[in-house]
Amino acid sequence: MHKIITSDFELDLTDVKITINEENSWFSDRFFTKYSYPFEFVATKEINTVLGDLMSYNSVTQTYIDCVYVFYNNIQSAVFIIEEIKGDLVTASIRYGFDEFPNFDKYLPEFDLIKKQVNDIYVHANAVVHQNYRQTNYNFPQIHTDKYDPQETQFNAFLKILNNRVDGIFIRNSVNDDDAILNKNIIQPVPYLLYLLKTGFLSAGYELRGEILRDELIAKILIYTNKDYFTKVAIEPLNVSISTEEHYDQKVINWEYSFYFFYKQIQIPRPGKYNLIGDLALHSWTINEQSEIYIRHNGVVIYEWRRRSAFSNTHVDLTIHVSAPDEMLEFFVKSAVRREDVLVNVQVLPIYFLNSQGQKTGSIVNENIVDLAKVVPNITFGQLVTVVTNLFNLDLVIGKDFVTMDFINTAFQKNTIHDFRDCEIVNPPRKLKSGVKYLLQYEDDSLGYDRVFVDINGMSVLKKEQRLASEKTISIGAAPLLRESRGVTTVKANDGGEDSISLVLYSGLVEGKNTALDPSPLLLSSIYNKYYSAWLRNRILSQEFHVEFLTPIERILNLKIKDRIMMYNNIHLVKNIGLTQIAKDLFQVELETEILKVGE
């Protein structure tokens, strides 16, 4: 059965010459293929009517029609496209498949990632660091960083390590007895790779399945990027200035002299301890009428100053304790005006802040919240998937409501074998491939990551300064963080931006410490041996065949693009299948294959 089914009509394709092509994504740089099969058919009166009178020059026929494409036992949702009309002869095509996965252009921070309030982020992190991916979707590994300059006041106590944990306890930021702010630690959650992949696919309605979920190395990978997760509280002073030009009212003493009234208010945004410091000035014309300044905090007068002399000034230095956000500070001034002058010139300087529990805290605040959207790279989901498939040589297959990711390095050696020896032709065209060379590399080579070069002679590791020509380069847009010892041996953050993808291995405490694991399994020599060696070796040693033959549809109906076939005394991998319908149930078959050389 070969036909198109729409909501209004069915079009039988049994006797229509149509070519169907399918390519194996193992051999392609693309995840998905949009198939388009052009063909011609004669429009019957019934079809002409249903489609809105195709033959009419005034036709407003819809040219894109949703349909179901039935190719014997293969049924696909598709689009039937009318491309050209000449009399009753219609040129059309069938298109189905993906140009791109539905949300591959969506940025990671836009996904519905974990965001939750916790009672105490330090206590919460201390509970999570004991766990691995099977138990949590994020973790808190120690990561060395040089991002924050100790010459800056806010970071002069910072110990240059994220998620710093000593003797089983995360170091807290604090204020000492001298009211000095000690910003020693930054608490930053880091999400697991598998959590991000599952969430990304699920947001489009697909469940992630496959060997990727059972791989122990991938399960340990956290995705880190150089983002500021903490809340940085401004320690700049609040400035208050009142000049003689800013009066809002006037009291006339006589025809020559007047007193003026001034008012200004500010809000102090955060609870804490503050120092109000600066200079005040007053003018007066008569001892019978005093000038005055008073300051109120939350409606309570905390400072008063009155003068009757011609001109006076004073210095003010007060301590203010603010217990709630946005408390009010008000300045009231009554003064004569002799010349342009500044009557109030003070600053409100933060000494320390209070957190929601009323505890003293510094200007670097580790909020009691886990918000993973704030720590993921500024990249699209498609970019992340590309990095993962390139790094681990993964295939991606879309089902009805699931996505399967399996390792090509093993899959190509175990799929079903079909015997096509009876379809062999004499002397098929062949291409030898032993001269093909591959280069496997991390795109960011600023840290001098080793690269892997593969040719007919095998694999060799290239140092940063070495260069060899290659036809095929596999670049991976990520990089593992490397270990460094600064009293604590753990990985050190790179200098990448907020779109950088850094790989960290973590699977719970190591000897009681939340340090990252040795990144050696993520170096490309290890990646090649585990995820690429058999596949690339086969591609280099193989021969490419091009075979054409006629066969009834039953002969090829169960052949899937990633199955293997037996021909010419070898097992072949299928690169491409082309089927051209010659007559009812009779097809011209074109096969592009590569001989399976590894694992024979």
- Contact between residue 504 and residue 515 where contact means Cβ atoms under 8 Å apart: no
Answer yes or no: pTM beyond 0.95: no
| pLDDT mean for each 10 residues of the chain (600 residues) | 86 85 85 74 79 66 83 86 85 80 93 96 97 96 94 88 97 85 93 98 96 98 95 82 89 75 94 94 79 95 89 92 95 86 93 82 86 97 96 93 95 92 92 86 83 92 76 90 93 92 97 97 96 94 93 90 94 93 90 83
Cα 264 from Cα 295, distance rounded (Å): 10
Which pLDDT belongs to residue 254?
Answer: 66
Residue of 385, 391, 384 lying closest to 523 (CA atoms): 391
Which pLDDT belongs to residue 59?
Answer: 63
DSSP code per residue over 438-476: EEEEES--TT---EEEEETTEEEEEPTT-----SEEEEE
Tokens 């020599």 correspond to what residue?
525
Single-letter amino acid, residue 477: G
Which pLDDT belongs to residue 60?
Answer: 57
Give the rounded distance of the alpha carbon of 280 from its chain centre.
Answer: 54
Which pLDDT belongs to residue 151?
Answer: 86
According to the 3-state scheme, what is the secondary structure of 530-591?
HHHHHHHHHHHHCEEEEEEEEEEHHHHCCCCCCCEEEECCEEEEEEEEEEEEEECCEEEEEE
Domains of the chain: which residue ranges?
Answer: 1-99, 108-234+362-408, 238-352
By the 10 Å C-beta count (0-12 exposed, 13-18 middle, 19+ buried), 536 is classed as: buried
Which pLDDT belongs to residue 256?
Answer: 64
Residue 104 φ then ψ, to 5°: -65, -20
Which pLDDT belongs to residue 211?
Answer: 97
Helices of type H across 64-215: 121-128, 193-203
Which pLDDT belongs to residue 58?
Answer: 63
Which pLDDT belongs to residue 509?
Answer: 96
Fold of 238-352: Jelly Rolls (2.60.120)
